[in-house]
Amino acid sequence: MGWVKRSGPALLSGALLGIATTFMFSWLAWVSLVPYLLVAENTKRPVAQAGWAGLAYGLVMESWVAGAVARYTDNQWGVALFCHGVAVAIMAVNVAVLLLPFAWMRKRSVAVQLLVWPLAATLAEMGMYHLLEGFPWFQYTVGFSQAANLYVSQLAALGDLFLLTFTVLVLNLLCAEGVKRRSGVWFVFLLLLLACLHGGGALEVYRVEGLRTGGFRVALANDNSTAGLRWTRERVDEYADRLLGLAASIQGKRQALTIWNEGVVPWAYRPGDDLTRAILAAARTSSDALHLIGMTSAVGGHTYNSAYLFTGEGKLAGRYDKQNLLKGIEISSIGLKLPFFEASPFEEPAGAHRGLLLAGGARIGVLICNESSTNRVAASFADAPYDCLVVLANNNWFTGTPLIRHHFYFNRIRAIQNRKDLVVNNNLGMSGHISASGVIVSGRKAGTPYVVYCDVKQVGARPDGFSCPQRTEEEKAL
């Protein structure tokens, strides 16, 4: 019982933070660390308490890992359990590092704690975040718990998820101080800060929505294929029939751009490929209609995870190669890579095919899968004016896990941070359209093929004079 009394509050805080992050309960995150903050001031083992909180957090956050790895490795449960243990340990360290600065200043005045701990903890979180680049399932921040809160998440435009983390930590400190002192004054401060965050966020959403102009029609053609269908050679004809049926359903809809998902053509691009030509022919709308299709590139012994832009006539109009590769899956990490029944020795592009694609009169920034989990790649597009972000993804290994919803909300943070409309086509994930303000215009998850149409807008006029192609009244009617 003595151990439970000493460590229970820390375990509770870690578990509550894990639940708040997993389900994006923004309100729960504001108070989740209060039990730890209260017990840490009097404990004789503050480092151990931070470790217990981290362990509870890791167990909650990574509960899905073993099952997902087993699916990816064709039921190699030894590998799956090893990965699960590593994942829990890494997430435990993430939170322990965040809490340790408070342990060192727990005897300081509340003014010092408010001035120092949120900043020190956020900097520690940033260090872990960048250290884990390439492992998006470990790059969770405390601030991600706010991703489903449209108004609070507007802070991401000023400081990414880290400013959200800083804010959540301040809220927890204010609440803990109110509980400790049994004083309503601290809760008044807490409520005033929450009112400012939500009121200011609402005004910012209104402001950005008023700046969105123009518009061009985009079709998200989502085949929603399982790994067994997409990657089994004996089922290639069945898979091709699914894609061609989907392509035929969008014929004549007059969208400016049709977006297919990541790796929808399950082999490397080659000129005149039969499946690619058949898809473009089946979906033919007009010669100036464009298609963005995910597939790999094999060039000079090098392999890339790519997105190809084609004209309606089948001419290659551009290519983007993925820059932020998944470590341990797409590329090896410390010499290790998960086994997969189709090898994927991808490489980062050295120079070409890293920038914007010109789709008609619009410039689009393409992100492939986990590249929307951080802002590194999207930030590289800011050197040139562009109109919107497009995400091609494949979540078929993570069905039934929280990552499906998390991936969609990472996209929301990217839209807010860059103030660009974002459309995402995610195989067996959540697909849809998120405005530059973070408003979810459409979002859909299904297990069967479907097409979603979106009217993508730009924020203000581009300084180079280009603008998104305008839809005619006839096209709007469709």
DSSP H helical segments within 213-344, as ranges? Answer: 227-231, 236-249, 274-282
Which DSSP category does 41 fall into? T
Give the Cα separation of 412 and 236 in Å (integer): 34
Average pLDDT over every residue of 321-337 = 74
| pLDDT value at residue 468 | 57
Per-residue confidence band for 339, with pLDDT thresholds at 50, 70 and 90:
low
Give, in order, the Cα–Cα distances in Å from 140 to each of 251, 360, 407, 448. 41, 36, 11, 30
**CB-based contact 416:91 (threshold 8 Å):** no
Amino acid at 11: L
For residue 469, the model assigns a pLDDT of 57
- What confidence tens digit (pLDDT) does each residue in 123-172 have? 999 999 999 888 888 899 999 999 999 999 999 999 999 999 999 999 99
Overall pTM > 0.95: no
Find the mean pLDDT for residues 22-26: 97
What pLDDT digit, counting tens, does each position of 166-202 carry? Answer: 999 999 999 999 998 888 899 999 999 999 999 999 9
pLDDT tier at 423, thresholds 50, 70, 90: very high
Q: How many CA atoms lie within 13 A of 138 on its CB side?
A: 26
- Structure confidence at residue 330 (pLDDT): 72
pLDDT tens digits, residue range 47-100? 889 999 999 999 999 988 888 778 767 778 877 888 889 889 999 999 999 999
Model confidence at 474, pLDDT cuts 50, 70, 90, reads: very low
177 close to 106: Cβ distance less than 8 angstroms = no
